[in-house]
Amino acid sequence: MKLALVSLSNEGARLARRLAERWPSCDVFLHASVTAMPQAKRFDRVVELTQELFSAYEGLVYIAPTGAIVRAIAPCLKHKAVDPAVVVVDVGGRWAVSLLSGHEGGANELAVEVAN
């Protein structure tokens, strides 16, 4: 699965680093204000980034508030058969939620992998 990890904070970047160890071929995107992981790709607005990533990746893992991600993915939604798996994780790493394309897109399985 072509996977992107996205975080808005330094706290989330620490978790993204741990997840990237599990998936070495994933791409990591961090908000421009984040100082961790200088090798990660940077972005200014999560809504614009999501529009770029939505059709380019099979799985998107956001380490961010769920509400912000719902707003970011809403304009991109097409159909459960073509939308990528979207998982949202809290910055503390306590919860991994299958947000979109759970069954058809593999987000349910991805959420379990992220949680483990």
What pLDDT does residue 103 have? 87
**Where does the pLDDT of residue 113 fall: very low under 50, low under 70, confident under 90, or very high at 90 and above?**
very high
Output the six-digit token pair for 94. 């306590």
The CB density around residue 85, as the number of other CB atoms within 10 Å, is 25
CA angle 91, 66, 90 (to 5 degrees): 15
What's the rounded Cα separation, in Å, for the pair 99 and 53? 16
d(CA 32, CA 16): 15
pLDDT at position 116 = 92
The answer to whether the Cα torsion of 102, 103, 105, 108 is positive or negative is: positive
Mean pLDDT of the chain: 96
For 38, the 3-state DSSP assignment is coil
d(CA 58, CA 63): 17
Per-residue pLDDT band for 80 (boundaries 50, 70, 90) equals confident
